[in-house]
Structure 1
Amino acid sequence: MTWERAIHALRKGHCAGRPGTEDFLLRDGSFSLFSRGVILPGHGAGVKVASIFPPNARRETPLPTEDAIFLVVDEEGKSISYILDGPEITRWKTAADSALASEMLSAIDSKTLLVAGAGPIALALAHAHVHARPSIERILLWNRTLQKLDAVAQALTSLGRPIDVITDMNEAVSQADIISAATGSVSPIIRGRFLKPGAHVDLVGGYRPDMREADDDVIARSDVYVDFRDTALDAGDISQAIANGSLLQDDIKGDLFDMVRAAPERSSRATVFKNAGGAHLDLLIGLAAARASDRSDRIDRTA
Structure 2
Amino acid sequence: MWIDAATIRDKLAMPALIAALAAADRSLFTVPERLHYPVGGGDLLSMPAYSPSVLGMKIVTVFPGNSRAGLPTVHATYQLFSARTGEILATIDGTELTRWRTAAVAVLAALNLFGASPGHILVVGTGALSSYLVSAFAESYPDAEIAVWGRRQEAGEAVARRARAARQAAVSVPDLETATRRADIICCATSSTAPLVLGSWVKDGAHLGLIGGFTPQMHETDSVAFRDALVVVDTPAAMVGAGELRAAVRDGYLRESELLTLSSLLSKNDRAGGRASRTIFKSIGSAENDLIAGEYLWRLVSSS
Q: TM-score, normalised by structure 2?
A: 0.86
CA separation of 1:242/1:46 partners in 2, compared to 1, >3 Å: closer, same or farther?
Answer: same
Distance 2:85 2:23 in 1: 22
1:198-209 counterparts in 2 under 5 A? Answer: 198-209=205-216
Structure 2 match to 1:78: 86
Structure 2 match to 1:171: 178
1:47 corresponds to which letter in structure 2? M
1:1-303 counterparts in 2 under 5 A? Answer: 1-24=12-35, 29-30=40-41, 33-39=44-50, 41-50=51-60, 66-136=74-144, 138-158=145-165, 160=167, 162-252=169-259, 254-264=260-270, 265-267=272-274, 269-296=277-304
Tell me by how many angstroms 1:163 deviates: 2.6
Please list every run of 5 or more consecutive structure 2 residues that lacks an aligned counterpart in the other structure: 1-11
Query: Which secondary structure state, in structure 1, belongs to the residue aligned with residue 59 of structure 2?
Result: strand
Number of equivalenced pairs? 291
Distance 2:43 2:23 in 1: 33
Please list every run of 5 or more consecutive structure 1 residues that lacks an aligned counterpart in the other structure: 297-303
CA separation of 1:43/1:246 partners in 2, compared to 1, >3 Å: closer, same or farther?
Answer: farther
Contact 1:16 1:42 in 2 (8 A): no
Distance 1:118 1:177 in 2: 19
Tell me by how many angstroms 1:263 deviates: 2.2
Query: Which secondary structure state, in structure 1, belongs to the residue aligned with residue 205 of structure 2?
Result: coil
Distance 1:15 1:51 in 2: 26
Q: TM-score, normalised by structure 1?
A: 0.87
Distance 1:107 1:230 in 2: 27
Please list the CA deviations of residues 43-82 of structure 1 after superposition, one character each: whole Å capped at 9, or x if unmatched: 42111123566777777xx665653210011133222111
Contact 1:26 1:32 in 2 (8 A): yes
Contact 2:67 2:127 in 1 (8 A): no
Distance 1:166 1:55 in 2: 24
Query: Which secondary structure state, in structure 1, belongs to the residue aligned with residue 156 of structure 2?
Result: helix
Q: Please, what is the CA RMSD of the aligned residues?
A: 2.4
Distance 1:229 1:290 in 2: 27
Tell me by how many angstroms 1:187 deviates: 1.4
